[in-house]
Amino acid sequence: MLLSLACSTISCSGTKEQETLNRAEALMESHPDSALIILSTIDKGQLSDKNQKAKYALLMSMALDKNYIDTTTFDVLQPACDYYIEKGTPDDMLRTYYYRGRIFQNQGDHDNALNSFSKGLDNPHLTDSLTIARTLVAIGYIYNELFDIDSYVSYSLKAADIYNGLAFRNQELDCLFKALDGAIILGNQSIGDSIINSIEHFSSLDSISKKSLTRLQLSYALKFGATDDIKGLIHEQEENLSSLNDALNLALAYNKVGNDNKAFQLLNIVKNSGLPYDTLRHLSISVPIFEGLGNYKDALSLYKQYSHKQDSIDFLKFEQASRSIVEKHRIELQAQKDARHKSRIIWGCFGGIAVLSMGILILCLLVRSNRAKKELALEKVRTKEAENAKLKSEKDNLALENRNLQLERDKKALEAENLAHRVETLENESDSLK
């Protein structure tokens, strides 16, 4: 009775915690702050099994990430990694790998982050389109950090396509902006035109999106457009400045239309702002502006600084590419090693099963042989008993016949004796008659 009561108590407790987890999961996308509060009320000691602990770990990691609480350790997520990567559904594995990659990102470990994201996507049975899109965005972000702009554009467009199918318009637009920015950097006008065509289908934009679009339109005009196109966008950009990089864009626009004094003023505003800005872009824009002002000496000095930084970045890109190749090779070797190990385990299992099967077969044959021997021995015993019974019966019959024969002899002897007595009697009677 006590055992039954204890089991009932544990079951009720597990059900209560599961309901709390389900409620937090339902609120995760729309109200992540509420989901975090709900998860914080759960006593982890009351979680009933590894599956429930893994779900709590994954949901808590999601809640922290969605509330912009960056974590750099696996303390929270580890139970999910331990359980879902081995026993979870494809979508559970994807989510776990995604948040594992996010932690590596927070640590600044691009290689392991990229490896985690890629492993999460390496499954043909995924159905969680939203997490797939987020993973693609995260991969694109890493490639942008590594100056691989082609991959950055490619992954941003893939994510935008998924967000379009989910009708997540803001997320789709953000990915299109990223892809357009990359296409402009690459100087790929055809991709840029295609992306702009997609953006034009958005009926209304909020103020932040309008500012981003204005900046990109000016960047596009600076890269591919004519002077008149740039002039038409300068005023609009002045009214929608939202960052120092926008100011740098505007400075380059003024340089393109021949107003280098205005461009120089904007350069100084950016430089003296005390805020972080893109120093490489500042140098690259400064060179033509100083040339336009006739200050060729400083223009040459700035160009040398720009070239030195660009060479450093190119070297970093080469170094990163080399590391990526080495890491990829290491991963491939590890995968081959794991495959060989797995193959050995499989063949070992097959061998063990074969040996076990042979052992069972031999045992069955021995049992069958022993059973046959036993049955044969029993049959011999039964045959012997039958023969003995038959012999006994024949012996009894013979004894009976002997007794009957003896009785018959005794009967005949008695009859002979009676006959002799009668003859004697008759002789006596005959003698008396004489």
59 by Cβ neighbours in 10 Å (0-12 / 13-18 / 19+) ranks as buried
79 by Cβ neighbours in 10 Å (0-12 / 13-18 / 19+) ranks as buried
User: pLDDT tens digit string along 41-98?
Assistant: 888 888 878 889 999 989 999 999 989 888 889 989 999 999 999 999 999 999 999 9
Contacts of 320 (CB under 8 A, 6+ apart): 146, 147
For residues 116 and 99, give the distance between their C-alpha atoms in angstroms, rounded to a whole number: 9
Location of each CATH 1.25.40 domain in the chain: 16-117
Q: Is this model's pTM higher than 0.85 or not?
A: no
Mean pLDDT calculated for residue range 130-157: 94
pLDDT confidence bin for 6, thresholds 50/70/90:
very low
Q: Match 């002039």 to its residue by tokens.
A: 231
pLDDT (0 to 100) of residue 278 = 86
Mean pLDDT calculated for residue range 106-110: 91
pLDDT confidence bin for 377, thresholds 50/70/90:
confident
User: Does the domain made of 16-117 have the CATH classification 1.25.40?
Assistant: yes
Residue 424: φ, ψ to 5°:
-60, -40
For residues 357 and 227, give the distance between their C-alpha atoms in angstroms, rounded to a whole number: 83
Mean pLDDT calculated for residue range 259-273: 91
Over 60: is that where the pLDDT of 229 sits?
yes
Over 50: is that where the pLDDT of 8 sits?
no
Average pLDDT, the chain: 86
Share of the chain above pLDDT 90, in %: 41
Over 80: is that where the pLDDT of 320 sits?
no
pLDDT confidence bin for 335, thresholds 50/70/90:
low
pLDDT (0 to 100) of residue 9 = 45
pLDDT (0 to 100) of residue 10 = 44
